[in-house]
Amino acid sequence: MNLKTISKLSLLVVVLASCDNNRVQVTETGLKYKFHEDVEDTRKAKVGDVMTFNITVKNSKDSTLGSSYLNGSPVKQPLQASTFKGSLEEGLALLSKGDSATIYVNADSIAGRSQQPLPPFIPKGSDIAYTIKVIDVQSMEEFQKAQVAVREKQKGVDEKTIADFVAKNKLAGQKTASGLYYVITQPGTGASPSSGDVVKVKYTGKLMNGKVFDSSDKNPQTQGGIDFPLGQGAVIPGWEEGVRQLKKGGKGTLIIPSSLAYGVEGAPGAIPPNSVIMFDVELVDIKKGAAPAPQMPQMPQGGR
């Protein structure tokens, strides 16, 4: 056998291995999956590990139902035990850091577990395709340590962003121990609100470049302000602390570090990850010791 023949055989082995790697395979439980990238000698995920991955979900007609790429940040979640044969969790447990694969989950199985009928865009008996790209696999302890390190690093970035903005705009305000910066633009009267009070607040939220991402004036139902209880987690921490600096009738600007706002996730489509944000707020009213009011609307408003 000459060198040319050996070379051709070697190439054929590589091609066949590649074809085998990209074909749809089936587990003993009936789960179908297809590897696009299979990284050797990396840690496979096990139940309890935190997986960081990008995901695109499509129906049997190849229509995209959702994608983390569109949201601007990958999914971070602990791997749960499989709750039914052929589940997505079973497929995730096949993957290691760096792997890429499509996992096909029977739509009827998902509907059966949720006890909800399938929507019209997901035909009965079809598969839902989850294309996964695994960025990292960590134990819960490793993940928590990494998150602390990320927050500490981001804290310094946010502090510089706020300090530069304050200096550039010659703002005269105060900074709290948590990193919140606030400027009182119109003093109010009476006492400041405290936990248990229900406050009514008008607001306009902006990115640091001045782009408005939300305002109570945009919605006829909230033009007079929105009501929420203090101290019950109805709003982001920057609001919990910032509104307490005002008195009834008072106005101010809150410059909120990402750790007290929407953090590493941001608000998809409105607030990028790790963003310092600003709110111009007016404390319209305070109801002392009032019963809890409905929570604020969903993101990207001032609520969680």
pLDDT of residue 256: 97
How are beta strands 32-37 and 100-106 bridged, if at all? Answer: antiparallel
Domains annotated on the chain, with CATH: 23-142 (3.10.50.40), 155-287 (3.10.50.40)
Q: How far is CA 290 from CA 192, 196, 287, in A?
A: 15, 7, 6
Does the predicted TM-score (pTM) go above 0.85? no
Q: d(Cα 69, Cα 56) in Å, to the nearest integer?
A: 8
pLDDT of residue 301: 45
Task: Please answer whether residues 130 and 103 qualify as being in contact, where contact means their C-beta atoms are separated by less than 8 angstroms.
Answer: yes
pLDDT of residue 174: 95
Instruction: Using alpha carbons, select from 216, 238, 239 the residue that is nearest to residue 229.
Output: 239
pLDDT of residue 151: 86
pLDDT of residue 27: 92
pLDDT, averaged in runs of 10, over the chain (304 residues): 42 43 85 92 89 95 91 87 93 95 93 80 93 96 91 93 96 95 94 92 96 91 90 93 96 96 87 94 87 44 45
